[in-house]
A and B are shown apart, each in its own frame.
Chain A
Amino acid sequence: MSFISLLWVLLLGSLLGLELIGKVPPTLHTPLMSGANAISGITMLAALTLIVKAEGNVPLLIIGSVSLGFALFNVVGGFFVTDRMLAMFSRKSSNKK
């Protein structure tokens, strides 16, 4: 992948992010922040790459594993806590019916 096309990816990704968030009711700001935060744990893919490519280099394996742990803490915790928040909204709307 050439550097220039990676820059395009960066640019288009940023524009997509700006567009997606445009109009959000305040109710959802906290869940959205928490959900977006979980997605930023996507860096777990980088950690995985590091571990796979470590080729038996133990210090690198450890760094990768710790990094993976931190990322998954972010991802798993982030999605669970967002779900907990959103569950309250859906529970309420099902009560109404």
Chain B
Amino acid sequence: MNLPVIIKFVIDLLAVLLLALGIKGLSKVKSARDANRLAAFAMSLSVVGLLSYYLGTSGIAVQSWIWIIIGTIIGSLFGAILAKKVPMTSMPETVALFNGCGGMSSLLVALGVAIFPLSNSVENLDFFKSLINEVSISVSIFVGAITFTGSIVAMAKLQGWLSTPGWTQSKVRHFVNIVFAVASLIAFFDLINGNTSSIWLLVIVSSLLGIGVTLPIGGADMPVVISLLNSYSGIAAAAAGFVVDSQLLIVAGAMVGAAGLILTQVMCKGMNRSLVSVLFGGSLSAQSTTSSGSGEYTNITSCSVEECALTLEAANKVIIVPGYGLAVAQAQHTLREVTKKLEQNGIEVVYAIHPVAGRMPGHMNVLLAEADVPYEQLKEMDVVNPDFPATDVVLVLGANDVVNPQAKNDSSSPLYGMPVLDVQEARTVFVIKRGMSAGYSGIKNDLFDLPNTSMVFGDAKKVLNDLIGELKDLGVGEK
């Protein structure tokens, strides 16, 4: 073993260790930020390791440097700009976009190696080795393409650029996807047989498969898909690791792939959806329109902001249930002002966070943290549920499906079995909502019909602003 090999070995080992510590640290609130930086450092270290290895062995041509610098500057610049500019509410879309680009990168590497075999892989034309090479190239292209197109479709759907076409809700989509999958398989075997031109078929069909699988999935299930695609991009990276013979790539890719799977599982549990039904069941709303006939509300009570303020003033304990609607209205800061006033009046305020509040697990925590809500006030569902009977007022802001009692009471409901917040147990429930439109799942919310529920209609931000005014008039929070 010569020196460059040893140096690279040590650096790679260190990088893997730091990456593992980084992922580990990301799972604790205290260490998360440092852990993220540690992981970023480990990534830079791995680049230094690779470049120093080539400098010490074959050398790096000037031409190569130029292209390295071009790619680095353009990619980093766009990434940094987007990361700085994007609003926190669009986090799921952003992660999807980044993820898709990671998949694209693995795809391109495999494509490059397939079209122009690297010099060292031509030398050893061992049958077994070339088979492994072709299999890893195919896997990298297949998974990379699905990751890319799937992520882009997921992003477009979350941004509202793309709606769910009608035909994708019919059984036709299964047929179409099976055709794509079979075609990918044919291209895969053709490629292994040595027919290099079928690589383009593989690229095209697996890209179409990514679109075909993601397009029918409804908005509510999109986070699960993004998490799954995140796992795929790890697998694609690991496959690319086999292509270029890099252990570091394989370890890091495998770690991300496995971690993504666990996270996907957690999300599915939170929504009481199995991964299979997310992937093949189509959009939840499409099923519910045919299955549930009880679409009409019969007993809606609406009330003014003033009444709401009066009830809040008299309360001892208030629980806030924030949902994505709150984030869309950018009302988390206004909400914080309202709760500050209540706290100054000695009222206990707690935020009940459903596991899938927002659009991703933990998304709501990020949004509330942005508004300076103390971490201790955020209570998870299991912790807060026993508290509802002893609560005077619950404010539901832009949440819908996660407070639907149907999930507990109505076994025919598509939501049945999903863990929900038992807000109806509280004395009074105020639901602040734009109108009577259904939630993400498109299912009627029985909560709205209950006698202790009052609807306050209006944009969340405007209602909360009015609420601040009313509370001021009542002298709440004034010293």
Contacts and interface: CB of A to CB of B under 8 A. Distances in A.
B324 to A, nearest CB: 13
B105 A20 contact: no
Contacts, number: 399
Contact of A44 (B47, B128, B378): B47
Interface stretch (B169-177, B230-238, B282-290): B230-238
Contacts of B37: 79, 83
Nearest to A48: B50
B144 to A, nearest CB: 9
A81 B40 CA distance: 12
Interface residues of A, number: 88
Contacts of A69: 70-72, 74-75, 78
Contacts of A26: 353, 355, 361-362, 365, 380
A24 to B, nearest CB: 4
A6 to B, nearest CB: 6
Q: Is the interface of B mostly helix, strand, loop or mixed?
A: helix
A11 B98 CA distance: 26
B101 A89 contact: no
Contacts of A30: 91-92, 95, 358, 360-363, 365-366
A52 B74 contact: no
Given A74-B102, A79-B36, A95-B372, A39 B23 contact: yes
Contacts of A42: 43, 46, 237, 248-249, 252-253, 256
Interface in B462-478: none
B106 interface: yes
A85 B94 CA distance: 12
B249 A32 contact: no
A77 B128 CA distance: 39
Contact of B79 (A59, A73, A91): A73
Interface in B62-108: 63-64, 67-68, 70-72, 74-76, 78-80, 82-84, 86, 88, 91-92, 94-95, 98-99, 101-102, 104-106, 108
A11 B251 CA distance: 8
Contact of A67 (B105, B230, B355, B358): B105
B262 A59 contact: no
B357 to A, nearest CB: 9
B83 A72 contact: no
B255 A20 contact: yes
B244 A76 contact: no
Interface residues of B, number: 119
B245 interface: yes
A52 B61 CA distance: 7
Q: Is the interface of A mostly helix, strand, loop or mixed?
A: helix
Interface string A17-41: 1101111111111111111111111
B95 A52 contact: no
A79 to B, nearest CB: 4
A36 B256 contact: yes
Output the residue of B36, B86, B258, B263 with the most chain A CB within 10 A: B36
18 contacts: A14-B254, A14-B257, A17-B23, A17-B258, A21-B27, A26-B365, A45-B50, A45-B244, A45-B246, A53-B58, A53-B118, A61-B64, A62-B67, A67-B109, A68-B105, A70-B104, A77-B82, A96-B374
Interface of B: 19-20, 22-24, 26-30, 32-33, 35-37, 39-40, 43, 46-47, 50-51, 54, 58, 60-61, 63-64, 67-68, 70-72, 74-76, 78-80, 82-84, 86, 88, 91-92, 94-95, 98-99, 101-102, 104-106, 108-109, 111-113, 115-116, 118-120, 128-129, 132, 226-227, 230, 233-234, 236-238, 240-263, 266-267, 353, 355, 358, 360-363, 365-366, 369-370, 372-375, 378, 380
Given A18-B261, A40-B256, A63-B112, 13 more contacts: A12-B251, A28-B32, A30-B363, A33-B360, A40-B99, A65-B71, A68-B105, A73-B76, A74-B233, A77-B79, A81-B82, A92-B375, A93-B375
Interface of A: 1, 3, 6, 9-18, 20-57, 59-93, 95-96
